[in-house]
Amino acid sequence: MKGRLKEVLCRLQDPELVARFQRLCGVSGPPSESETVKRAPPDARGGEPGKPEKRRRKVDSNGAANGEPLSCSGDTGTVKPLRRNSLTGDTGLAFCVENPLLYYLFTIGTELGNELFYISFFPFMTWNVDPVVARQLIVVWVWVMYLGQCAKDVIRWPRPSSPPVVKVEVFYNSEYSMPSTHAMSATAVPLALLLLTHTRWEYPFLLGVTIALSWCVLVCLSRIYMGMHSVLDVIAGFLFSLLILVVFSPTLHLIDTFNLSFRYAPIVIVSLHAGLGLFSFTLDTWSTSRGDTAQILGTGAGIAVASHLNYQLDLIPDPPASALPFPAPTLSFSLVGLCLLRFVLGVLVVLATRAVMKALTVPLVCWFVGIPSGDARKARQHMQVELPYRYIVYWTVGFSAFFLVPYLFVCIGLS
C-alpha cells in the first residue's frame, strides 16, 4: 500500500506530466535555438546547479524578444515568458503557443493570484459591496498565504525542471514549489467568499458554487500551464487550503471583533504580524517567497489597523444585521457609475501611495541598516532591507486602501 502511494505521488510530481499538459494545451519549445547562456545556479528553480541552460530566442522585426507573438508555422506564435523577475533579472526562454485562446485564458487565471488582482479586489469589496465580508476574507487570505509560504520554506522542493517543462512564467521561478500558494489562495478566497456571503446576501447558491469552483479550477490549471508547479503541488495546495479554511472559519467573527473593538488591537496586530515575518525565514538563498510573505503580513496589519480606526470613528459603518439577508442591488447607470468612480479614484490613490512609499522606504532602510542603496536590486535582496521595506510599504498600502481612501470618499461626498 505504501509503495503504491509513493508511486502515485512520484507520478504526480513528475515534470513530464506538466510538460504533457502544456503540449496538450499547445505550448512547446521555440522553433529555433540561437544562443546559449549560462544561468545562475538554481538552488530552488529546478534543474541541476552549475549546468548551463540553452537560452532559445527567436527575434525578428515583429518583436518576439519583447514578448510579441510571431508567425512560426500556421497559427503558432513565439512569445516570451510573462513578467521577468525584477530582482534576479530572469527573463526566461521563448516558447511557442499554438492555442492563443488558452494562453490568454490561463494568463488571466494566474493573474487572479497575483498582487494586482488583490490590490484591486479587496478594496473594491470594501468600498462598494460589504466591508464585513472584505475584512474577514482578508484574514483568511493572510493566514492561507502566510502558512503556504512558510510550508515552501520548510519543504524546499524545486520547481518542475526545464526541460521538459516550458517556463511560460518566470517571475516566481526562484521560489520553492510545494505547495502552490496560487492554488491555496484560489481555493480559500472564493470558498470563503461563498461561505461569508450566502447567508448575508440573496443570490442563487448554485451560481455562487459555480463561480467559486470555476475560479479555483482556472487558477490551479493555470499554474500547471505556466510550468510553475507540478500536479502534486497544486493538489497539496488545494487540500492544505481546505484544512486552513476549516480551522479558521469558526474564528473569523471573533478575530474581526477583536480587531475592531479591542483597545490595544493595533499594537497587538502590528507586533504579531511583524514578529511572524521575522521568525519565519531562515532561507539559505534569496527568493521571492521571503518578500512576498512580508508584503502579505504588512498588508494584513495595515488593513486591520485601518479597520480598527474605521470602527472607532464610524467611518465605514457595517450594514445592520437586522436587515439580513440583503437583497441584491438593482443595477442602474448611477449605481455602476458611482462604483466605478470610487474604484478608479481609490485605486489611483493606492497605487500612488505604493509608488511614493517604495521610492522613500528603500533608501531610508538602507541608510538605517548601513547597506549601500546605489543598486536597489541588490540592496532589496538583503533580508534586513527587504523585510522592513516590504512590510512598511504594504502596511501603508493596506492602511491607505481601508482608511485614507474611505475618509477621502466622505470628504468629497462619495461615501
Kindly list the catalytic residues: 182, 229
- Measured at the CA of 209, the angle between CA 25 and CA 141, to 5 degrees, comes to 80
C-alpha 228 chain-centroid distance = 14
Taking the C-alpha atoms of residue 304 and residue 271, their distance in angstroms, rounded to an integer, is 12
Secondary structure element (H or E) that encloses residue 53, with its range: strand 53-55
DSSP, residue by residue, 82-123 = BS--TTT------EEES-HHHHHHHHHHHHTTSHHHHHHHHH
The cell numbers describing 184, all together, are 491555496
**Cβ atoms of 405 and 123 closer than 8 Å:** yes
Where does 112-180 have alpha helices with state H? 115-124, 131-155
- Look at the block and give the residue holding cell 499538459: 21
Taking the C-alpha atoms of residue 96 and residue 31, their distance in angstroms, rounded to an integer, is 7
Taking the C-alpha atoms of residue 118 and residue 111, their distance in angstroms, rounded to an integer, is 9
Helix (H, G, I), strand (E, B) or coil at 27: strand
Q: Residue 35: beta bridge partners? A: 55
